[in-house]
Amino acid sequence: MIRDLISTAQLQELLDAGRAPVILDCRHDLAQPDWACDVFVDSHLPGAILASMDDVLSGPHSVGAGRHPWPSIEQWRAQLATWRITRDTPVVVYDQHSGMFAARAWWLLKVSGHDQVAVLDGGFRAWTQEGRLLESGVTQQEPAASLESVADIEFDRTRLLTAEQLVDARDAGRPIIDSRAADRYRGENETIDAKAGHIPGALNRPFGLNLLPDGRIKPADDLRRELTELLRGSNSDQAPVFYCGSGVTAAHNLLAMELAGLPGAAMYPPSWSGWIENADHPVATGEQP
């Protein structure tokens, strides 16, 4: 069963056996919106479908939703029907290498009740470095499935918090964890969003700490040790809530939690970019939560 993380060798075995999952190409560049489409046409994994961060993995903007707004359940159901993905469809998602963008697609599927989804460990870079088969051009997709086939799909709203729910959770002692780089957390180097700093009370766990130098994800035992230590510092036994800049890299920490055997964590999807769209929301800077 495909679940949470898959190696290049495991995916190759599925392709060779004629049991290909739906493969979503989630490569993205925050600074170059058209980059993903260009590199996809140039080369991608066999049978892969382009899953645009801006057009597919995000919804339309509204105040407080952040730079990558969470899609509505209606939008997400329609997209799953287009991809012919039902609850029983195995899915593999990948990006350039680290999984920072692929994890967004993984979390969208995971939190809508889809268990058979995995991030490709090492992504496109690992696949190509190993000399595995690639395709080019635009993948021809089957006609969309009926909306009836995905009508029962719903988001688990207990794992997707609003700003109000985030504040209530924090005030009740639930750990809130910022997934951005430490300098952005401290408010020292903000080059993307209009304000610098972090949500008051949040701890910091840069998603890059989940990775080995080659871009693959650390062993589960290492993740469990590191994350357990982080949560111990919060003095709470409640499952944490993660956020980042726009609800993308926070999903990587959620993936790490699942791999570490620490389930139940949630996300604040608007993240920092959504938080600061409300002028009344306080901002903290420096090392301390």
Edge to edge, what strands does the sheet with 203-204 contain? 203-204, 176-178, 241-243, 266-267
- Beta strand pairing call for 176-178 and 117-120: unpaired
Pair 207, 257: CB distance under 8 Å: no
Distance linking the first and last C-alpha atoms of the chain = 40
Whether 244 sits among the annotated catalytic residues: the reply is: yes
Q: Which of 194, 157, 163, 155 is nearest to 64 (CA)?
A: 163
b/e 105-134 (16+ beta carbons within 10 angstroms → b) = bbbbbbbbebebbbbbbbbbbbbeeeeeee
Say which of 5, 244, 251, 267 is annotated catalytic: 244
Catalytic amino acids?
244
